[in-house]
Amino acid sequence: MPDAACRPLDILLAIDGMHPRGGGPPVVVVGSAVALAKRGHRVTILTTANPEDEAVVRHTWPALDEHGIALVFDVDERASPLAVGKARRAVFERLVRAADVVHIHAVWHPMLIALGRIARDIGVPYFVSVHGVFDRRAMQRVKSKLLKKRAAMHLLGIYGFLDHAAGVVFGSEAEAAESWIPSPRMRQIFVPNGAPDDLGLAELDRADRARLFEAAPAQRGWTRTLLCRSRIHPEKGIDLLLAAFDRVAPDFPDAGLLIAGLRQNEAYEGKLRTSIAASPIRERMIITTELTGPSSQFLYRACDLFVMPSLAEGFSMSLIEGLANARPLLITRYCHMPVVADAGAGMVVEPTIAGLADGLRWFLRQDREAWERMGIAARQLFAENYTWDHVARRLEREYDASVAA
């Protein structure tokens, strides 16, 4: 049930796409929705979808049905990408009027902007989670991308959309500090992502091992497995990790690197595969796109160290899942989680080949007992800060205060 000071609320969550290929944001929406429903709130999710994706979405997230969370699909009007027609707007208005609070995940889609305007006009408070889209490095790396986003800010009315929100949600103050802040008038709030409190407690079973060995046969011969589980995108820095591992691996012949990637950028994926094929230690570096989505959670239990080499990050779900699975972490400072090092759960390095190589070398020189101590610290950090119940309580307080105001 909600905290004594909070009332049960009707909550509308909105997102541009719930297909698992969307990476972290759909996981965040489902996790927070279920946690809020468990606490006695009534939750509805509105999502864009291609008609052929609806069955996949329902199959991927069975917990929504289990907890009575309504899933409403909005079929995108691709003929007019910058407008929302009258029929769709009527549906949006009905959903907003039925809600006490609206929480919008991401900023660029016309459906999301329309929801914000409707909520503002009706007087329903709304929140906006940015999910890393304003990261300075991600925006500035490609000049055309920055220009397009700045143009979209004006064209779609995003400045007002953010200014009128009850809160613009960043995963941490560190993330906000590394982000472009479009307007000084928008109210920043900080709510991390989370994971189920029982995540990481299950044992690795025979079926899981069989899936792993089918996708990555060479992993059978490794004594220590380093895992990078991520979208395959240049912002994730996987090319730097390959180069760093290539540099240090000759000194540690028992270690191998497994990259379990969610296919997103085929040109970049091709570059990674070419790099692996050219390496003299290619049998100790594997990239697979066969192990993705919720069913691939067992990978953390099959590895010894989790590595996140990101050049730009919002609030990484993979990182939280690594903590939950009691794995030590090697991450870059652009993962915005200095607490990992502070808690003794791992190391934070610069997002460079040299930085990652130094981190890998340090970890691979440690004994099993040191890795186990870091893993215990990682699990404790997760349990005390990043379960979905912790997240739901923070959201609940923000929602309730906005309704009261």
Tell me the per-residue pLDDT of 323-355, one tens digit each, with 9 for 90 and over.
999 999 999 998 989 999 999 999 999 999 999
Q: Is residue 24 part of a domain?
A: yes
Residue 161 to residue 281: CA distance in whole angstroms: 51
Query: How high does pLDDT run on average in the chain?
Result: 90
> Which range marks the domain in which residue 353 is found?
206-385
Query: Quick one: DSSP state of residue 310?
Result: -
What number is the average pLDDT over the span 292-302? 87
Chain segment 46-57, per-residue pLDDT in tens: 998 888 888 899
Together in a domain, 28 and 98: yes
Query: Is pLDDT at 199 greater than 50 in this prediction?
Result: yes
Together in a domain, 213 and 158: no
Chain segment 256-274, per-residue pLDDT in tens: 999 999 888 999 999 999 9
Together in a domain, 65 and 162: yes
Q: Is residue 3 part of a domain?
A: no
Beta bridge partners of 167: 127
- Contact between residue 371 and residue 365 where contact means Cβ atoms under 8 Å apart: no
Q: Is residue 147 part of a domain?
A: yes
Together in a domain, 189 and 245: no
- Contact between residue 18 and residue 49 where contact means Cβ atoms under 8 Å apart: yes
Query: Is pLDDT at 119 greater than 80 in this prediction?
Result: yes
What pLDDT is stored for residue 167 in this prediction? 96
Together in a domain, 168 and 240: no
- Contact between residue 330 and residue 347 where contact means Cβ atoms under 8 Å apart: yes
What pLDDT is stored for residue 5 in this prediction? 60
**Three-class SS of 107-129:** CCCHHHHHHHHHHHHHCCCEEEE
- Contact between residue 109 and residue 48 where contact means Cβ atoms under 8 Å apart: yes
Together in a domain, 293 and 395: no
pTM: 0.81
Residue 405 is which amino acid? A
Query: Is pLDDT at 378 greater than 50 in this prediction?
Result: yes
Task: Give the range with max mean pLDDT: 212-216, 252-256, 316-320.
Answer: 252-256
Residue 164 to residue 168: CA distance in whole angstroms: 10
CATH of the domain at 186: 3.40.50.2000
Q: In percent, how much of the chain has pLDDT > 70?
A: 92
Phi, psi angle pair for 136, to nearest 5°? -60, -45
Together in a domain, 148 and 66: yes
What b-and-e string marks burial along 249-266, b requiring 16 or more CB atoms within 10 Å of the CB?
beebeebbbbbbbbebbe
Query: Is pLDDT at 145 greater than 70 in this prediction?
Result: no
Together in a domain, 184 and 236: no
Q: Is residue 4 part of a domain?
A: no
Q: Is residue 2 part of a domain?
A: no
Q: Is residue 1 part of a domain?
A: no
Together in a domain, 332 and 395: no
Together in a domain, 164 and 214: no
Together in a domain, 82 and 109: yes
Residues in the chain, how many? 405
Together in a domain, 362 and 395: no
Q: Is residue 134 part of a domain?
A: yes
Count of domains for the chain: 2
Chain segment 174-193, per-residue pLDDT in tens: 888 888 888 889 999 999 99
- Contact between residue 181 and residue 159 where contact means Cβ atoms under 8 Å apart: no
What pLDDT is stored for residue 79 in this prediction? 43
Q: Is residue 243 part of a domain?
A: yes
